[in-house]
Amino acid sequence: MSEQDLGLKVASRRLLWRMGYTTRLDVQLRGAGGPSMASDTSKEWGRRTGQPESFTDLDVLGLSLTGGARLHSTIVDCKTTERGSTGRMFWVRGVGDFFAADDAYMVRDSVVTDAARQLAVRLGITTLTSKDLSRLEELHPCDIPLDTAPISYLFDVDSAANVLAAFNGLNKKLKPLLDYREFGYWLHDDHRNLMQLVEYLRACADLLDPRIPHHLALVLDLTWLYLVSLSQAIHVVRSAHVSDPDRGLQEYLFGGVAGLREKEQLSGLLASLREGGALPAEVRVDPLPDYYPKLRELTTRVMRRPDRVLPALRLLEVLTTAIALVQRVEPAELGSLHEDLAAKQAADVVQFLVSTAGLDDGFRARARSLLFGEPVPRATE
């Protein structure tokens, strides 16, 4: 990634923010490890490789919410080179379809050929130069102080580079959690992330210290991801079970009606085995996680105010960036971006992750300090 490419990325991010999105840079898309091709012997063929195959990456991902609490996604491909822009169009279209993006942009530094622009219309891709980005910004006035810290960190090249590299030097034992954040989250089926994220975080709970800024930034970033997953769940629940969100959430967690029925049948079988003494009495047979009541309550809260999801995501994006840069943040510095209800929604998700994953309560206290200006209790200093 060249510095010029990163400049286009943060410029594209700025435009998306003016258009009402929350954003993420360099989203990695890759597959799971496949069978080893080192040998054709049966022993080698069955071995899994340690290096999963990388599909591609999204330079910039933008997420917004439409009516019905549905996430609307936009991807942006940024390159400074002029060559191959026509062929790149098909790549952008393919990645957009793979990611199920609603909109796709291709941004080039200075030149987009006439042929590429003609093809863009046929493929449904918006094609821009850096000059076009500036002009589009003028068409999207914004009352959020984008040029004032800490929000301005999002649109500064050096700051963006530092944030992208912020978690590289953390404890190697955190690698499973970091890999999940960077790769697994985007690879798994959407419905799995509501439980997978909690389990990955729980496995690393003892390694995370709220007094370390990059650990706090990591938890805030995972909160952003979890709120995105909650939004995906709520859209499905509202579509099929708005009068019975409890049943709708259970079906969503297991991939649908058939998946839930299969889990319930297995649970019934295990329960009968336990009653007959074939299984120890302490064996848990409920297919739902022990924190399901908390998840149901959190989902209901967010579902009641879907209009605050996007502001909460944008708050978390700014706070993650600032803390990753080891910068202090006061709620007053966020200007019109800060809304009490959005801040409360973000705080509720942090509280849920702290309680279900067994994190140090200092994460909750520091998140509330960032969101509401509350003092951090001396015991967690």
Domains in the chain (CATH in brackets) are 3-35+49-142 (3.40.1350.10), 164-380 (no CATH)
Structure tokens at 351: 């509280």
pLDDT at 41: 41
Walking along the chain (381 residues) 10 residues at a time, the average pLDDT comes out as: 80 97 93 51 45 80 88 93 79 91 92 84 92 93 94 97 94 96 92 97 97 98 98 93 92 94 90 85 86 97 94 98 96 93 97 98 97 85 56
Burial class (CB in 10 A: 0-12, 13-18, 19+), 86: middle
* 227 contacts 346 by C-beta, under 8 angstroms: yes
Angle at 93 between CA 90 and CA 97, to 5 degrees: 140
Which token pair is 92?
A: 């952008």
Q: What is the pTM of this model?
A: 0.92
Find out whether 214 and 48 touch, Cβ atoms under 8 Å.
no
- Does an H or E element contain 125, and which? strand 125-129
Q: Which of 111, 95, 110, 105 is nearest to 127 (CA)?
A: 105
pLDDT of residue 194: 97
Please name every residue paired with 63 in a beta bridge, in sequence order, or none if there are none: 22, 73
Q: Which of 194, 210, 199 is nearest to 176 (CA)?
A: 199
Yes or no: say if 75 and 104 are a contact pair by the CB < 8 Å rule: yes
For residue 56, list its beta bridge partners. Answer: 29
The angle at the Cα of 268, spanning 267 to 274, to the nearest 5 degrees, equals: 90
Sequence-distant (6+) residues with CB within 8 A of 292 are: none
